[in-house]
Amino acid sequence: MKKVGFFLTLVFFCFESESKKIFNAKSHKFDNGLRLIVVENPRAPIVAQMIWYNFGSNIEERGKSGLAHFMEHLMFKGSKKFPENYFSNFLSKIGGSENAFTSYDYTAYYQTFPSNHIEKMIELEADRMKNLTLTKKNVETEKKVILEERFQRVESDPSSQLDESMRSILFPNNYYGRPIIGWKHEIENLTYNDVMDFYKKFYSPDNAILVLSGDVKFSNAKKLVRKYYENITKTKKKKIVDLSDPDLKTSTNVELKHQNVKQQIWKRIHRAKSYNQSISQSIALDLGMKILAGGTSSILYDEFVNKQKIFSMIGGFYQGLAKGDGYIYFYAIPNKEMSQNEISRLLDEQIEKAINEKISKKKLELEKKKYYYDSIYGMDGILKPAEIIGEALTIGLKLRDIEDWNKKLEKIDLEMVKKELKEFSDNNNFVTGSLKN
Amino acid at 293: A
Asked about 357 being catalytic, the answer comes back as no
Instruction: Assign 3-class secondary structure to 370-389.
Output: HHHHHHHHHHCCCHHHHHHH
Instruction: Tell me which DSSP letter residue 115 carries.
Output: G
Going by C-beta distance under 8 Å and a sequence separation of 6 or more, which residues neighbour residue 181? 4, 5, 66, 69, 146, 149, 150, 153, 154, 187
Q: Which residue, among 222, 211, 321, has the nearest Cα to 277 in the 3D structure?
A: 321
Helix axes 67-74, 192-202, angle to 10 degrees: 80
Active-site pick, 18, 40, 72, 140: 72
- What is the rounded radius of gyration, in angstroms, for the C-alpha atoms of the chain? 23
Q: How far apart are CA 296 and CA 330, in angstroms?
A: 14
Going by C-beta distance under 8 Å and a sequence separation of 6 or more, which residues neighbour residue 299? 291, 292, 293, 350, 354, 358, 359
Q: SS3 for 198? A: helix
Q: How far apart are CA 282 and CA 430, in angstroms?
A: 18
Burial of 221 (0-12, 13-18, 19+ CB in 10 A): buried
Q: Which residues are catalytic?
A: 72
